[in-house]
Each structure stands twice: as C-alpha cells, then as structure tokens.
Structure 1
C-alpha cells in the first residue's frame, strides 16, 4: 500500500455526482462548496443537506464546507457589519452540524494594504485581532460545541505569520489555519510575499487544511496542478514535517481535471 498522502477535493453537489467514484476509491476528504451565497444561507438549505447525505452514504473521508465569505471581512470595525458576518458564520456552522461536517473554511482579514499599514497606525494590529474576536467569538463557541474547526485561509496575506498568530489568539482547538497554495503563490509573485513552502512552515501544527491549486504568481488562477509554476516538491517537503494531518483539498476551476491533478501529484511521487 502506498504511503503517499491521499488528496481530496472541493466541489459542489453537482460535481460530487460526477466524481463520486473517484472520491470513494480512496475515501478521500471532501469540501462542499454549495453553502457560500446569501440566497442559499437565507433559504431552505435542508434539501441540499439531504442530497449530500444520500450521495455520501458510505463515505469515510473527512467532510467540511467552505464557509460564507462573499462581500465581507471578519475584521470590520463597524458593529452592524460584524453582526451580519456573525450571522453568516452561525449559518455556516448550522449547516456543518446538519451535515456532520467537521471543518469550515473562513477567509483571512489581512490584505495587501494592511501589510504595509498595520504598524503605521498605532494599535491597528491589535484592533484587527479585536475586531475578529468580536465577530467570531460566538462562532468559535458554536464550533467547539459541534466538534468543528474553523480554518482561516490566506487570501491576500503577505505576512505568513500574522494569520497563524490570529488563530492562536483564540486559544481554542476550534480555530486553525488553512493555506491556499495559489493565493500564496500570487502573493509571492505579485506582492513580495515569501514562497508557498514558507507558509506551510509558518503554520506548523496549526495547519489543518490546504487548498491545492496551481497558478503563475500573477492571479488567482485555480489551474489544474501542473499547469502553473508552483514548486510542488518544496511544498510537500515542508508538509512532510507537519504532523497535524491537514486535509489536502484540490480546489480548481475546471472540476473535470480533479483526477488529473491527483495523478499529476502521484507522477511526482508526492501524493495520490
């Protein structure tokens, strides 16, 4: 039996129907992405949950969802905006509970602008953490209660350590770190961030989730693995020292290429 790590994927329920055999052949981890828009969150999402349960009958991999993120930051200074975001986080975790999902992806609050200005305005770094706590405190308690983990994904992050420190500031096993390889590679190529493997090393044992996508360092491509220029050997070398068993989730635009992405990693001797 191969000792290579087994990759999973992010997809919608429609895409799950197409890739169900691939998912089940190695009981791969799955991230469902049907629950990110306001119309779904504010509507009757139970039929989607029931459809997922039917499709996943017999699935033994780990299940998570991408949480809400469109149109907001988790570090808003406006209390009314924070209330809306807190509502969205609760809705996402309610769905996790209904699905039996144990992980929800949330987006980092750190931007390209903030990297250059957090230390320009006195107390801004601390205020950002405070705003996130005010927004997320109820969600973190809810995640603890249902046995789920909120993982903070890098978006524009240049400082690979700030998000890790933010996760640690909650002092809770229900908050951990996610890395999106394409986002990190964009930041490396376009905004002076370190390369992807540095993000992995910085996250260390806080790392519980990775979006695997290829890119060119210029934009958020979400290309199939092997179509960009990420140095995958360095990424997986850094991962080899991580014992937290993060979910390795292929997240690409062309979902028909999910199996090909896994085959590409297998051809490099990195994953299966």
Structure 2
C-alpha cells in the first residue's frame, strides 16, 4: 500500500444504521455480519438483503460478508457434513450475488492440534487439503462466476504459512487469505506462534482482508484498538509492503467504539 489506508468495519445491519454517517463519510470497506446464522440462510433473507441495499445507498467502499461458520469446519472427513457446509456456503454466495458483495470470509480448518499432529500420521496434510477442496469445489466455481473472493481467516492457526498454502492450492482468484489480528495474537501468546506481523509477512500479496481487533494474547477479546497489546506499528509496517490492498476491517465486540478504533489508528498515523 502506497498511501495511508482507510479503515472499514464489520457490522450487522443494525450497527450500520447507527454508524452509517461514519461509514459513508469516506470510502470505508464494510463486512456485513447479518448472514452468518443457519436460520437466516435457510429462511427468507430477501428482506434483509433489501434493507442492506437501502442502507448502503451511497456507500463507496468495498462490500463483503462474513460467511457461515458455526458448528462446522471446511475440512470434515464426513461427506454428509461436507455437503451441509457446501450448502451453507452456496446460500451465502447467493446473498453476496444479491447485494453485490465481492468478498466472503470463511474459517481456516487448521487447529493448534493440527500443528503438532499433521506429521504424526502419514498423509494428514494432504487429507485436509483434499477434504477442503471437496467441500469448497462448488463454492469456488460460484465465487469465480460472480467475481467474488473467499478469504480464509486464521482461527487457531499456529503456522502462519499453512493457510496460505491451502489458498494457493486452489489456483483460483476466488480463494485468498484473511488475517484476524486477535486470533494471531492469541496464537502468539498462548501457543507460541509468531507475532501478528509475521502473519502479514507470511500471507504477502495473497492477503486480501484483515480483521483488526486488539487482544491480550490469552483469549479472543475483540477489544477496541489500543486496549490490548498488539504492536500495531509493526503490523502496519508489514501491510505497507503489500500491493494487494487488503480490506482493513475493524471487528470489535463493542461496536460503539468503532469510530474510536479508527481514531486510534489515525492518532498513530497508520490509517484514516
């Protein structure tokens, strides 16, 4: 990135109503989080989509959603579970096509258990990649067709490279990488993973999305930026080396502090 980036945020539609003026004041990227639940995707989500389009009239940033993730992984060895996961992702992609979203966040299948056991049994690394391909096959094709990129977010990932290799294995513009700074900080503090900026370096220009949340290295805090112990200058120094223009999405529990988080980055001279 060659100029000071503009921070966006992750919000539900209710949050967008509250922070609409802030969101529309600059071309801020938005990640909608109102289409995650199975009940929503199985039901009539058209009114929610219509509400989104009305609220976002005049929005100049890029639009994405957080995809479904509750209750499953994208690399299940059970074919019936893979079928359900594929269905959920296809439902979410239908939402994206309807509202004009060009990005969808999905969760990494790798765990802290994986890190210590992938080489314990022959073929385990290859199995996770194969199961993920079987799960995502239809979704990747659909994403390609509608011009959307699914970004794989680190959850428990201790190895910052392994998720990047998984994304690369698809050899598709529809699959790239996301980083959650708080998840990386948890992995760093609790499992001995590298610090957050190393995750950025590992992703390189495969990075298209980043969840900005502060944490203490113990739990998934989703604190407002500046409330934890993440080294933001190091993170943004790593981001400044990229040409991929990742979406900078403030994802915190207390949505009332979204403007304050953006102001904190501005006070450090890191983002608008």
Counterpart-to-counterpart distance in 1, 2:3 and 2:135: 41
1:74 is matched with 74
Map 1:216-227; keep pairs closer than 5 Å.
216-227=216-227
Counterpart-to-counterpart distance in 1, 2:3 and 2:39: 42
Counterpart-to-counterpart distance in 2, 1:93 and 1:246: 20
2:150 is matched with 150
TM-score (norm 2): 0.99
2:122 is matched with 122
1:57 is matched with 57
8 A contact 2:213–2:250 mirrored in 1: yes
1:230 is matched with 230
What is the alpha-carbon root mean square deviation over aligned residues? 0.8
Misfit runs of 4+, over 2 Å: none
Matched residue SS, 1:28:
coil
8 A contact 2:110–2:155 mirrored in 1: yes
C-alpha deviations, 1:202-245, integer Å up to 9, x for none? Answer: 00010000000000000000000000000000000000101000
Alpha-carbon deviation of 1:27? Answer: 1.7
Would you say 1:265 and 2:265 are equivalent positions? yes
Would you say 1:253 and 2:222 are equivalent positions? no
2:131 is matched with 131
- Where do 5+ consecutive residues of structure 1 fail to align? none
TM-score (norm 1): 0.99
C-alpha deviations, 1:54-77, integer Å up to 9, x for none? Answer: 000111110000000000000000
Matched residue SS, 2:184:
helix
Would you say 1:159 and 2:159 are equivalent positions? yes
Alpha-carbon deviation of 1:3? Answer: 3.8
1:6 is matched with 6
8 A contact 2:26–2:60 mirrored in 1: no
| Number of residue-to-residue matches in the alignment | 271
Matched residue SS, 2:152:
strand
